[in-house]
């Protein structure tokens, strides 16, 4: 059976299970099974965050609510998973907000390049009023925003040459996540964007369909992209928050007590993901260096040139200028 077909079959059987599980009954004695789609493998820190969420839900409901984590894209790539969550065939998914911006446009403000000074600044924003407000905004897309996970910082890598300055990116074919803003960002840098699901990137680099991509250390490592694209440049252009969302259709069928339990379990799983993330970032960096990746470390002056190239992008997304200002002013 083809991978896509298998995913579809899984999704359909999942839909059947979910609806028999919740079936509009708001009673608190019912056994509930929820499926969560995750793109990363089981040993990835973000997947372990999902698993911590699942553990807390099960423990706090005395085993009545079970969250099954389908890692490694078993339920499909992120964009497809989001669509399935939207109509309730999959109950939950953990995704990057990048593909979710195609469903909830306001989220773009949280993924603009260089919008955060560093990881601490990003967490101040996500855990403050702006982040909370954005979690509510995703409801318009028929999702319930539960929590954010640490995405680290993303940088460019490629199979062709060392990128020492932003001008070296000119004309390179770079894969981006499936979000219009990501395409616009690559154009602003003078490179050529190719949107593509995460799972297709390795072979696209290997066969020369694209020259490179961009990601954080753990993804560059766990996807094995470092094997086919050894030039990594630490420009840190993006921090794209990871988000855990639930289908609003499914959520609305739960009792308010269960809704609260799920929301709280998600919030309480964040600390575990953050801690594992910080460890994995260091571990992955060391691993790819040992494996022969050529790391080009940029100084602040060089990074400022990358940022300057984003000016047309900020203008293009001027509707988010106020929010961007608020983000910048978050201390």
Per the rule left: phi > 0, alpha: psi between -120 and 50, beta: everything else, 171 is left
Residue nearest to ligand GTR (CB): 96
Nearer to ligand GTR, 32 or 82 (CB): 82
Q: How far, in Å, CA of 177 to CA of 83, rounded?
A: 16
Q: Please, what sign has the CA dihedral across residues 150, 156, 160, 162?
A: negative
Figure out which of the listed residues 93, 111, 179, 219 binds ligand GTR, where binding follows CB under 6 A.
Answer: 219
Figure out which of the listed residues 14, 39, 273, 284 binds ligand GTR, where binding follows CB under 6 A.
Answer: 39
Nearer to ligand GTR, 7 or 22 (CB): 7
Burial of 127 by CB count in 10 Å (0-12 exposed, 13-18 middle, 19+ buried)? middle
Nearer to ligand GTR, 101 or 296 (CB): 101
Shortest separation between residue 220's beta carbon and ligand GTR, angstroms: 9
Structure tokens of 22? Answer: 């919740």
Q: Does 273 bind ligand GTR (CB under 6 A)?
A: no
Q: Which of 68, 76, 69 is nearest to 8 (CA)?
A: 76
Q: Does 177 bind ligand GTR (CB under 6 A)?
A: yes
Please identify, among the stretches 17-25, 95-103, 285-293, 303-311, the one whose residues bind ligand GTR according to the rule CB under 6 A: 95-103
Per the rule left: phi > 0, alpha: psi between -120 and 50, beta: everything else, 62 is left
Shortest separation between residue 153's beta carbon and ligand GTR, angstroms: 10
Nearer to ligand GTR, 39 or 273 (CB): 39
Q: Does 258 bind ligand GTR (CB under 6 A)?
A: no
Nearest 5 degrees, angle CA 198-CA 200-CA 238? 30
Q: How far, in Å, CA of 158 to CA of 233, rounded?
A: 9
Shortest separation between residue 246's beta carbon and ligand GTR, angstroms: 17
Nearer to ligand GTR, 37 or 303 (CB): 37
Q: How far, in Å, CA of 275 to CA of 283, rounded?
A: 13
Whether 56 contacts 62, CB under 8 Å: no
Q: Which of 232, 233, 206, 236 is nearest to 293 (CA)?
A: 232
Size of the site for ligand GTR (CB under 6 A): 12
Shortest separation between residue 151's beta carbon and ligand GTR, angstroms: 6
Please identify, among the stretches 15-23, 133-141, 212-220, 291-299, the one whose residues bind ligand GTR according to the rule CB under 6 A: 212-220
Q: Does 215 bind ligand GTR (CB under 6 A)?
A: yes
List interacting residues with ligand GTR (CB under 6 A).
Answer: 39, 46, 78, 95-96, 98, 177, 198, 215-216, 219, 242
């Amino acid at each position: 059976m083809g991978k896509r077909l298998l995913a579809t079959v899984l999704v359909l059987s999942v839909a059947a299970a979910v609806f028999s599980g919740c079936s509009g009954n708001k009673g608190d004695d019912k056994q509930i099974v929820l499926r969560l789609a995750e793109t990363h493998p089981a040993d990835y820190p973000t997947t372990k965050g999902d698993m911590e969420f699942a553990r807390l839900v099960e423990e706090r409901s005395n085993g009545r609510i079970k969250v099954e984590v389908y890692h490694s894209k078993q339920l499909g790539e992120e964009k497809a998973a989001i669509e399935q969550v939207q109509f309730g065939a999959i109950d939950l998914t953990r995704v990057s907000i990048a593909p979710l911006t195609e469903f909830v446009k306001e989220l773009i403000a949280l993924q603009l390049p260089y919008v955060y000074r560093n990881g601490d600044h990003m967490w101040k924003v996500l855990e403050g009023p702006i982040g909370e407000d954005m979690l509510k905004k995703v409801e318009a897309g028929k999702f319930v925003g539960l929590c954010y996970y640490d995405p680290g910082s993303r940088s460019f890598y490629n199979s062709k040459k060392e990128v020492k300055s932003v001008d070296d990116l000119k004309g390179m074919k770079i894969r981006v996540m499936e979000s219009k803003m990501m395409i616009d960002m690559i154009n602003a840098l003078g490179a050529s964007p190719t949107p593509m699901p995460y799972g297709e990137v390795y072979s696209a680099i290997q066969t020369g369909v694209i020259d490179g991509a961009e990601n954080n250390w753990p993804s560059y490592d766990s996807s094995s992209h470092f094997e086919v694209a050894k030039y990594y440049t630490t420009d840190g252009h993006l921090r794209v928050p990871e988000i855990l969302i639930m289908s609003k259709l499914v959520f609305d069928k739960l009792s308010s007590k269960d809704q609260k339990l799920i929301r709280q379990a998600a919030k309480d799983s964040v600390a575990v993901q953050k801690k594992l993330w910080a460890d994995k970032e260091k571990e992955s960096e060391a691993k790819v260096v040992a494996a022969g990746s050529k790391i080009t470390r940029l100084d602040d002056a060089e990074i400022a040139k990358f940022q300057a190239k984003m000016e047309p992008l900020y203008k293009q997304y001027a509707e988010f200028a106020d929010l961007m200002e608020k983000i910048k002013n978050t201390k």
